[in-house]
């Protein structure tokens, strides 16, 4: 009963005209506010949720809403700090990290947190096309050399370019290091054999 009365009250000619006009007023107001633009402020800004007027379109390649400084998007490996422990490759759920290691003949140096480096990495590839941004690799990294950066726009035309190479060795250098290791191992094997022979004789 109450509902029927309400419908009848709102159905009169002038009510209809009024509601039609209020619809036009709404679109007209938005049309007039079209000279204003929503500002591309970061979510941390106080006005982020307080911009009810103006166009909301973000002309993306020309402007972008800043992402947080600690945004966790594209992976980056600081190879100077990497001890080539292979933990990241092991924990990766999608197997996007490929690492080959070569033992160094002597200590190569120190990472910035004081860990000794004993391995070269002739191959340290991350396939960003496979990466699922879970961040497990960054949490297992013992030297914090593998991090996620706020860079998110790195689309490529050729998918091969999505494989990022982080190694600091050229293929020739890598080959040289391998030969050095083989030579050292040969020498050690020879020394061992000599020592063994000497013991037998003695």
Q: Decide: is 47 part of the binding site for other proteins (CB under 8 A).
A: no
198 binds other proteins (CB under 8 A): no
Number of residues that bind other proteins (CB under 8 A): 15
Using alpha carbons, select from 51, 55, 52 the residue that is nearest to residue 41. Answer: 51
Half-sphere exposure of 2 (CA within 13 A, CB side): 0
Taking CB under 8 A as the rule, which mask of x and - marks residues 7-46 in contact with other proteins?
-------------x--xx-xxx-xx-xx------------
- 20 or 197: CB nearest other proteins: 20
**Nearer to other proteins (CB atom), residue 34 or residue 110:** 34
Is 165 an interacting residue with respect to other proteins (CB under 8 A)?
no
Rounded to an integer, what is the distance from CA 160 to the centroid of its chain?
17
Among 11, 44, 57, 70, binds other proteins (CB under 8 A): 57
CB of 59 to other proteins, least distance (A): 7
The DSSP annotation for 12-63 comes to SHHHHHHHHHHHHHHHHHHHHGGG-B-----TTSTTTT---SSB----TTT-
C-alpha–C-alpha distance, residues 100 and 80, integer Å? 16
Binder to other proteins among 6, 12, 16, 59 (CB under 8 A)? 59
Q: What stretches of the chain show up as alpha helix (H) in DSSP? A: 2-10, 13-32, 87-91, 136-140, 171-201
- Residues of the shown chain interacting with other proteins in the complex, contacts defined by CB under 8 A: 20, 23-24, 26-28, 30-31, 33-34, 54-57, 59
């Amino acid at each position: 009963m109450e509902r029927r009365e309400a419908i009848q009250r709102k159905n009169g000619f002038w009510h209809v005209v009024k509601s039609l006009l209020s619809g036009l007023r709404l679109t007209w107001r938005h049309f007039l506010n079209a000279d204003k633009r929503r500002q591309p402020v970061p979510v941390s800004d106080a006005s982020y949720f307080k911009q009810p007027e103006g166009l909301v379109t973000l002309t993306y390649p020309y402007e972008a809403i800043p992402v947080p400084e600690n945004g966790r998007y594209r992976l980056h490996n600081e190879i100077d700090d990497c001890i080539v422990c292979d933990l990241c490759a092991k924990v990766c759920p999608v197997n996007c990290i490929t690492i080959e290691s070569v033992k160094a003949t002597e200590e190569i140096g120190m990472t910035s947190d004081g860990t000794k480096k004993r391995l070269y990495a002739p191959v340290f590839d991350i396939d960003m096309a496979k990466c699922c941004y879970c961040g497990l690799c960054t949490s297992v990294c013992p030297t914090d050399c593998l991090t996620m950066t706020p860079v998110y726009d790195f689309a490529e035309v050729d998918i091969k370019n999505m494989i990022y190479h982080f190694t600091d060795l050229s293929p020739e250098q890598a080959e040289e290091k391998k030969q050095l290791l083989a030579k050292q191992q040969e020498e050690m094997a020879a020394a061992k054999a000599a020592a063994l022979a000497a013991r037998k004789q003695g």
